[in-house]
Structures are given as structure tokens and as C-alpha cells.
Structure 1
Amino acid sequence: MTIHSQTPQFFLTSPSPCPYLAGQFERKVFTHLIGDRAPDLLDLLTQGGFRRSQNIAYRPACERCRACVSVRILVREFQPTRSMRRVWLRNGDLVGRIGDPEPSSEQYSLFRRYLDSRHAMGGMSEMSVLDYAMMVEDSQVDTRLVRYLRRGPDSRFSERSDGSLVGAALTDVMNDGLSMVYSFFDPDESERSLGTYMILDHIERARKMGLPYVYLGYWVKDSPKMNYKIRYQPQEHLTPKGWERYEEG
């Protein structure tokens, strides 16, 4: 008898209140990303609408709702809007450093301030420094941490001259794109539009790496907190027929 120990097993969560639509309940189907096959499995599952959280891949499996739509940006065709170009120029004093996913006290301090300001009642609001470290480090796929720092006088020559941290993005590198797992930034720097800037930076990084997509996770049409994702055109949405091109207007 052959035992397929590498075959992933899928599980279904119990219903819980939906974080995006009032009065709705969500369920998720999930599996574990472990072993040598984890990177290939993540590639396959991401193309099927899954997201990663530590060593778990999950996607919505709600009984009466299909509002969550997986979104990916078409990197080669993307052209920034005028307002996006202004955001890019406004953050010209920042430098992005991509490296191994290694947590630090400076990161956690910024992460904590971001949660307290933007998501005080969210599911991550009680995360401790150890929880943050696990979120960053606990991955068996190709995960990077992009740190956004104020540009020091000699930043072009040495990372040691970089200034303070203003944002960070935990990002998976896959065969067909970059998947933005989680990002956070300084809530006191709202005039910078750092969330927009980090997505623009990931599009440019994917372009230089020859990757066709940037995966943004789920878009919910009737959720104001998700509206920003639709701005990055053109993009593709995962439908029952597969990935289909979507352009507004």
C-alpha cells in the first residue's frame, strides 16, 4: 500500500463574524504549508485564490457569500495614474531594503503603532512581540521582508547609513509574481500615502525581476477598506471561469 504523506489535507473553519461585511459570517478552507513541496504548493494554491499566513494557506469558503475576489496586478501593462506618480515622487527620500524575514524591536514598535492607530479592534490587535516574530519568521517558502527607511546621506553606498524605519512589507516570491502577505507603516506619515507607495514599489520590483503579477489578496466590492485595491489597473480577478481581466471605466 502506498502512503501519500506529501498530499495536503484541507480543513474547514467554523463560522465567525466577517471582518469586511456587517452581519455576514465567514468560513475558510485551509491547509498546512510544510516540507520541501511548500513553495510549489503555495504557487499552485495562490493561483487558486489562496493566501498565506505563516505556514497556513487559506481561502474563503462562505456558504452564502462570494464577495471576496482574489486580485492580481498585470505588472507589464500597469501605468501609474497622475496621483500615483505624485506619491512616488513624494517618497523619493525613502530607500527600500529587501532581505531575509528577520524581525526586530524597531519593526514591532512600528507594527504596534500601526495596529493601534488603524486596526485597534481587528483580529491582530492583541499580537505580542513573539506573535510578530512568528508572523515574520514562520515560513517554509521564499519570503522576504522589504523595509522602507529614510534615506541617509550615504544610503547609496551602505545600509548602515539608512535612517529610521517608516514601513515594512512581508512578501512571498513565487514563480509568477510577488504576493504581498502583510504590510504596515508609520500612521503619523499619512501625507506620504505609504500604502500606495509600497504597492507601487512592489510593482516595480516585480517588473525588474521579470515577474508578471503582484498579488494583492482579496477585494470586497462593498467594503470601503478594500476600495484601494481596485485602483491598480489593469488587473485580473479570479472568477469561476478562472482569472479574467478587469478594468474600471
Structure 2
Amino acid sequence: MSDLSELRFFRTPAHPCSYLEERQAATLFVDPQTRLDAGLYSELSRLGFRRSGDYLYRPHCDGCRACVPARVRVADFQPRRRHKRLRRRNADLTVSEEPARYTREVYRLYARYIDQRHGDGDMFPPSEEQFTSFLTCDWADTRFYCFRDPEHRLVAVAVTDLLDDGLSAVYTFFDPDQPDRGLGVNALLWQIQAAHRLGMPYLYLGYWIRQCQKMSYKSQYRPLELLDGGEWRELPEPGSENGR
């Protein structure tokens, strides 16, 4: 285990929050000069940090704790009926594990996804340099899980890091012209199964934000554990006694 007390961190200036309107956000980064490796990455993931390119970060906002680190306990995961229907709908897809690197095929899908789904976001407009700096990393064990249809067309990519206690779902992008397939949900369900096959206890999902619809969907994958006051606690089912 690393001596985390020796790490240095930097905090960004306040800036408009990407998820909640009329809020200011700030981010805590591990010093970019730190020699990072998969072991330290795993330790920091258990403390709520995420990876973006070669950087490790977590939200550090004044007076706001809306972004809560979340992970699925994969051995106990219970797919819902809609999950089972969606998996059957995508049973014709094949999945291959490919190196985490720029290729024209993967980048074209990424650019289409960003253009159509996130034209008002921080990643627009997409570029080859931005793709590489955001998704690839020199020190992490990163895989591109590529989903292809029966005609061998690439329809989704799940960018996934291997940690010592699970997988980290870094980012998923998919064909925006096939909404009926639910390709993003399908990729997440596949990652849960992949973690289970590898004997890993968790799939790390990033941040759960109750007030933000595009982030609150993560509560559909249960049992979901949230990092609360330094401890991982299971999110109660709606209507349960502990959740009232």
C-alpha cells in the first residue's frame, strides 16, 4: 500500500458546474508529477478518485457534496426485467478486447457520438488529440471493449480500466443512430458480467448525482454502493426503512 499522506494535490479555481445549474464546481487533482501506477490508482479509486487521461481527480466543491462516488457490487447484481430484454435484443453483438489506442474506426464512432449527443458539453468539438488525451493513459491498464454487429460494424466502445478490486467504467460511446438497442446500458451490463468473470468484486461507475438525471440513472444497477464519509455504504432501495 502506498503512503497516501505524501501525495500532493492541486485544486482548480471555481467554474460553472457541468451537472447542476447555478452551481460552482472545483476539482482536486493528484499532482501531475506524481509517479502513478495501477496500484496507486486502485487505492485512490477506493477514495472516490477517477481517471481522465493521465490525471486522477475528484470533485472538491465548496458547500456541495452532490457528486457521490458509486460502484456496483457485481456478485450480488440482480438485472431488472428491462435489462434482460435489452441483453436479448443485443445478443447478436460480438465483443472483442482491443488495445486502448487511437484508430480511425474507433475515433469516427467517438466523434459521431460527441457531435450528436454532447454538442453542448466540455468535449465538443471532438478532435483526435482530445480523444487520445481523454481516454488513453501511459500507466493504467486500459482496454477498449468493442461491440460489433453481425456485419462487423463497430457500434459501441466501453473504455475500461482494470483495478486490483474491480473494473472502472471510464467512458462509453456508441452509435447514436441506434437508440432502440440501448447500447450504453448494454455495455454497462456487459462490464458487470466481465468483472464477475474476472472474479472482481466491483464495477466503479464514477459519480452518482441524485439531482441530475443523466447521472442518477446509476441507481438502476443494484446493489449500488456509495462512498459516504469515507465508508462505502449500500444505497437503500426506494421506500425502504433506511431510505426514508
State TM-score, norm by structure 2: 0.91
The answer as to whether partners of 2:75 and 2:201 remain within 8 angstroms in 1 is: yes
1-structure distance, mates of 2:98, 2:105: 16
Q: 1:34 to 1:212 in 2, by over 3 A?
A: farther
Offset at residue 35 of structure 1 (A): 7.1
Corresponding residue for residue 241 of structure 2: none
Corresponding residue for residue 248 of structure 1: 237
Corresponding residue for residue 203 of structure 1: 192
Letter in 1 for 2:214: K
Match of 1:225 among 214, 227, 233: 214
Corresponding residue for residue 156 of structure 1: none
Determine what percentage of the aligned residue pairs are the same residue. 38
Q: 1:82 to 1:151 in 2, by over 3 A?
A: same
1-structure distance, mates of 2:30, 2:47: 13
What are the superposed Cα offsets for residues 159-193 of structure 1, whole Å, 9 maximum, x if unpaired? xxxx0100101111001000011110001110001
Please state whether the residue corresponding to 2:119 is helix, strand or coil.
Answer: coil
Of 190-199 and 36-45, the range deviating more from structure 2: 36-45
State TM-score, norm by structure 1: 0.90
The answer as to whether partners of 2:48 and 2:227 remain within 8 angstroms in 1 is: yes
Letter in 2 for 1:137: T
Letter in 1 for 2:156: G
Match of 1:188 among 166, 169, 177: 177
2-structure distance, mates of 1:175, 1:233: 21
Task: Spell out structure 1 runs of 4+ moving beyond 6 A.
Answer: 33-36
2-structure distance, mates of 1:207, 1:74: 9
Corresponding residue for residue 44 of structure 1: 43
Offset at residue 32 of structure 1 (A): 4.4
Letter in 1 for 2:103: S
Corresponding residue for residue 99 of structure 1: 98
What are the superposed Cα offsets for residues 212-241 of structure 1, whole Å, 9 maximum, x if unpaired? 000000011010111221100111000014
2-structure distance, mates of 1:208, 1:34: 35
The answer as to whether partners of 1:34 and 1:55 remain within 8 angstroms in 2 is: no
Offset at residue 130 of structure 1 (A): 2.1
2-structure distance, mates of 1:204, 1:7: 36
Corresponding residue for residue 69 of structure 2: 70
Q: 1:173 to 1:34 in 2, by over 3 A?
A: farther
Please state whether the residue corresponding to 1:217 is helix, strand or coil.
Answer: strand
Q: Which runs of 5+ in 1 are unaligned?
A: 153-162
Letter in 1 for 2:206: G
Letter in 1 for 2:161: D
Q: Which runs of 5+ in 2 are unaligned?
A: 239-244
Corresponding residue for residue 173 of structure 1: 162
2-structure distance, mates of 1:10, 1:32: 5
Q: 1:105 to 1:89 in 2, by over 3 A?
A: same
Offset at residue 38 of structure 1 (A): 1.7
2-structure distance, mates of 1:35, 1:165: 36
2-structure distance, mates of 1:135, 1:28: 16
- Alignment RMSD, CA only? 1.8
Q: 1:16 to 1:201 in 2, by over 3 A?
A: same
The answer as to whether partners of 2:140 and 2:161 remain within 8 angstroms in 1 is: yes
Q: 1:34 to 1:82 in 2, by over 3 A?
A: farther
Q: How many residues align?
A: 235
Q: 1:35 to 1:25 in 2, by over 3 A?
A: closer
The answer as to whether partners of 2:36 and 2:139 remain within 8 angstroms in 1 is: no
Please state whether the residue corresponding to 1:86 is helix, strand or coil.
Answer: helix
The answer as to whether partners of 2:115 and 2:126 remain within 8 angstroms in 1 is: no
Offset at residue 127 of structure 1 (A): 2.8
